[in-house]
Amino acid sequence: MAGEEGLKVVGFWVSPFVVRVKWALRMKGLEYEYIEEDIFNKTPLLSQLNPVHAKVPVLVHNGKPLAESLIILEYIDETWKHNPLLPADPYERARARFWAGFAEFKILNPSWEALWSKGKQQESAVNSAMEAIEKLEAELNGKQFFGGEKIGYLDLVVGWVAHNLPIFEEVASVKIFDSQKFPAIAEWKNRFLNHPIIKADLPDTEKAYAYFDKRSKELAASFYSAN
């Protein structure tokens, strides 16, 4: 069944970028059609909707496709004004965007590298992610959520820390997140994961572990055989 106003999401079940878009739509109470895309055997539809990168997620609204999850989140928030995700104050909105970019490049990227890398490369990636999480801990600053008293834009962006990061750590046998060192984020993780809207779209943990375990081995074999 097609979603509200022709809303469709093209995604891959375990992608944190796709999941955050699903969360945003649920936060707005919007119905949509979900189209699963095998990113390892891409259909012509994905290239048609996202010809530049041919990646998920893609949001389709009234036949118009939009790519890149952070851009999609802002589009959703600007198009449907109720239950706002971004702060109303321009300065606070800018800060939320800054921390979203910071989390993508300084936490997600090295955490992903730590998933499949080895030796000193992995150690460096772990240290980089930990240093960045320390800065994010300070930003939370005693709030219930990064969005204040309710889940907002930045919470959705860093939501993968609550669900995916423990899986990355287990697969790679590394420790990036220390609940004793980062108590504010540890408490936030519990609140976030227990929110009904968030729980509704969490990928199955066991299936996600199996996927990332296989993916990490493939990436490691490809990288280290070429270097």
Percent of the chain with pLDDT over 70: 98
How long a stretch of residues is the chain? 227
The token pair at 2 is 């097609």
Please give the pLDDT value at position 214: 97
Domain span at 100: 90-225
Q: 5: pLDDT confidence band, cut at 50, 70 and 90?
A: low
Does residue 42 register a pLDDT over 70? yes
User: Is 64 in the same domain as 138?
Assistant: no
Q: Which residues does residue 33 pair with via DSSP β-bridges, in sequence order? A: 8
Mean pLDDT score across all residues of the chain: 95
CATH number of the domain that residue 150 is part of: 1.20.1050.10
In a domain, 27, yes or no: yes
- Residue 131: name the closest of 181, 95, 170 by CA: 181
pLDDT at 6: 85
Backbone angles phi, psi at 60, to 5 degrees: -115, 120
User: What's the average model confidence in pLDDT over 90-98?
Assistant: 97
Asked whether residue 73 falls in the same domain as residue 153, the answer is no
Separation between Cα atoms, residue 138 and residue 166, nearest integer Å: 21
pLDDT of amino acid 3 = 47
Q: Evaluate whether residue 129 is within a structural domain.
A: yes
What digits encode the pLDDT tens for the residues 133-185? 999 999 998 899 999 999 999 999 999 999 999 999 999 999 999 999 999 99
For residue 153, which amino acid is it? Y
Q: Kindly calculate the radius of gyration of the chain based on its CA atoms and give it in whole angstroms.
A: 18
Same-domain status, 129 and 166: yes
d(CA 142, CA 187): 10
Closest CA to 227 of 118, 128, 129, 125: 118
pLDDT confidence of residue 226: 78
Q: Which of 79, 112, 143 is the endpoint of a domain? A: 79
Residues 107, 173, single domain; the answer is yes
Q: Residue holding tokens 């800054």?
A: 98
The percentage of residues in the chain with a pLDDT greater than 90, rounded to a whole number, is 95
Give all strands of the β-sheet with 58-61 in edge-to-edge order: 33-36, 8-11, 58-61, 64-67
Q: Is residue 84 part of a domain?
A: no
158 and 125 assigned to the same domain: yes
Number of structural domains the chain divides into: 2
> Does residue 193 sit in the same domain as residue 128?
yes
pLDDT at 225 exceeding the cut of 90: no
Residue type at 48 in one-letter notation:
Q
Select from 17, 45, 79 the last residue of a domain.
79
Q: State pLDDT tens for residues 58-67.
A: 999 999 999 9
| pLDDT computed for residue 4 by the predictor | 55
Higher pLDDT, 227 or 223: 223
- 85 domain-assigned: no
Position 141 scores a pLDDT of: 84
Write down which residue in 45, 79, 113 finishes a domain. 79
Q: What is the CATH number of the domain that holds 69?
A: 3.40.30.10
